[in-house]
């Protein structure tokens, strides 16, 4: 079994540099600076929450009225709706694994880069393995929780993998 905390922490050096540069931007723009270590820890724990297969654990990282939109899908507002959105992914992929690839700052937003892998063996699933990269653009609220998250991945590649399976990873 993969130790996701250890794997996520291995990304630290480039993440710390990007966040340090981003904190300078935040300071000059009048926004309160974000604590890079806290943010890195939150992103690691968020990854672990996805891998826990407990959707409510994912929703705890969002502000009570936080929002999540996956690609151009329905906007999930509030922890109940976010729990339902996460649960759908977890149901579709009972062996879901999420890896944090990188955490960066872009245009004042935190960008959480991830890779999702698993077999689409939930109800009505295709039985095919999927391995897809994506990211979430986070806006962090004053409470330190995710106020908004916009998730993006290549929908066409995802659909292709649902039909044909994921490419082999070396």
Inform me whether the pLDDT recorded for 4 exceeds 80. no
Average pLDDT over residues 73-95: 98
Query: How far is the C-alpha of 129 from the C-alpha of 149, rounded, in Å?
Result: 26
Question: For position 7, what pLDDT does the model report?
Answer: 46
pLDDT digits (tens, 9 = 90+) for 16-61: 334 433 443 343 344 456 688 899 999 999 999 999 999 999 999 9
Mean pLDDT (whole number) for 54-70: 98
Distance CA 49, CA 159 (A): 25
pLDDT, one tens digit per residue, over 110-159 is 999 999 999 999 999 999 999 999 999 999 999 999 999 999 999 999 99
Q: Are strands 97-106 and 75-77 parallel, antiparallel or unpaired?
A: unpaired
In 3D, which of 64, 86, 75 has the Cα closest to residue 145?
A: 64
Structure tokens at 130: 């999927």
Domain positions in the chain are: 4-164
pLDDT bin (cut points 50, 70, 90) of residue 170 is: low
**DSSP secondary structure letters along 23-79:** HHHHHHTTSPPP-HHHHHHHHHHHHHHHHTT-HHHHHTTEEEEEEEEETTSPEEESH
**Cα gap 84→65, rounded to integer Å:** 14
SS3 assignment, position 13: helix
DSSP structural state of residue 10: T
So what's the pLDDT on residue 5?
Answer: 42
Residue range 4-164 forms a domain whose CATH class is: alpha beta
Average pLDDT on 157-166 reads 96
């Amino acid at each position: 079994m993969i130790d996701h905390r250890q794997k996520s922490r291995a990304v630290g050096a480039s993440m710390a540099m990007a966040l340090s540069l981003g904190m300078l931007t935040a300071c000059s723009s009048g926004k309160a600076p974000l604590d890079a270590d806290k943010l890195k820890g939150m992103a690691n724990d968020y990854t672990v929450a996805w891998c826990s297969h407990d959707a409510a654990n994912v929703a705890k990282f969002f502000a009570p009225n936080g929002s999540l939109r996956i690609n151009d899908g329905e906007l999930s507002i509030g922890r109940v709706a976010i729990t339902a959105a996460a649960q759908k992914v977890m149901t579709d992929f009972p062996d879901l694994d999420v890896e944090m690839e990188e955490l960066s700052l872009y245009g004042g937003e935190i960008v959480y880069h991830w890779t999702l892998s698993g077999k689409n063996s939930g109800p009505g699933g295709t039985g095919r393995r999927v391995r897809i990269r994506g990211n979430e653009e986070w806006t962090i609220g004053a409470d330190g929780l995710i106020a908004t998250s916009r998730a993006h991945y290549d929908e066409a590649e995802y659909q292709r993998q649902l039909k044909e399976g994921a490419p082999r990873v070396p």
